[in-house]
Structure formats: structure tokens, C-alpha cells
């Protein structure tokens, strides 16, 4: 059985920087409460290696951010923006 391997801080930070850049490219910045909420999870992920998955409504954008932040090397962290006209 293989040992579980975890990303180091630099690997986690690289993933979050890429994710935040993609959000920024869509105009989703810290002006939105949902992005601020996601950033709290991202900071814990980078600094402490705490994985998180969930969804956050980004009010006023008709989007729900669905995220999976994985501390495991074999799993890339990712986000998806889901359209929802009620948000």
C-alpha cells in the first residue's frame, strides 16, 4: 500500500494563485462577498493544508462557485462556475 502524499505549501499556493487569476479574469474579485468567503477557505488551504469542497453563491453574478481544494498530490484543486439565474 502506497503512502498518501500531500502537496507542500508552495504547491497549494500555486493552485490558489491560478484559481484566483481565473476568477479575476471573469471579473470576480474581492468586491463580491462570495469571493471573500472562498478566500477564507483558500487561505486555510495554503497555510495549513486544510482541504475543502463546497459551493458558494456569488450574489449579483448569477453564478455559484463550486470548489474542491485538495491537499493530496494526486488530486488537482479546481473550481467550477455554475449558472443560476436566481443568484
Domain boundaries, the chain: 9-83
- Asked whether 7 and 75 are in contact (CB, 8 A), the reply is no
- Asked whether 32 and 3 are in contact (CB, 8 A), the reply is no
**Neighbour-count burial of 11, counting CB atoms closer than 10 A to its CB (0-12 exposed, 13-18 middle, 19+ buried):** middle
Q: Which helix (H) or strand (E) is 61 found in, with range?
A: none
pLDDT tens digits along 4-40: 999 999 999 999 999 999 999 999 999 999 999 999 9
Question: Can you list the positions of beta strands (E) in 1-87?
Answer: 52-58, 63-69, 78-83
pLDDT tens digits along 36-57: 999 999 999 999 999 999 999 9
- Whether 85 has a pLDDT exceeding 60, the answer reads yes
- Asked whether 79 and 19 are in contact (CB, 8 A), the reply is yes
Average pLDDT over residues 55-82: 98
Q: What pLDDT score does 2 carry?
A: 64
Amino acid at each position: 500500500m502506497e503512502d498518501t502524499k500531500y502537496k507542500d505549501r508552495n504547491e497549494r499556493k500555486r493552485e490558489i494563485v491560478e484559481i484566483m487569476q481565473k476568477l479575476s479574469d471573469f471579473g470576480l474579485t474581492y468586491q463580491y462577498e462570495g469571493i471573500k468567503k472562498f478566500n477564507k477557505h483558500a487561505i486555510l488551504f495554503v497555510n495549513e493544508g486544510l482541504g475543502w469542497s463546497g459551493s458558494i453563491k456569488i450574489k449579483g453574478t448569477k453564478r455559484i462557485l463550486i470548489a474542491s481544494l485538495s491537499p493530496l498530490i494526486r488530486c488537482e484543486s479546481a473550481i467550477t462556475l455554475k449558472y443560476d439565474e436566481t443568484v
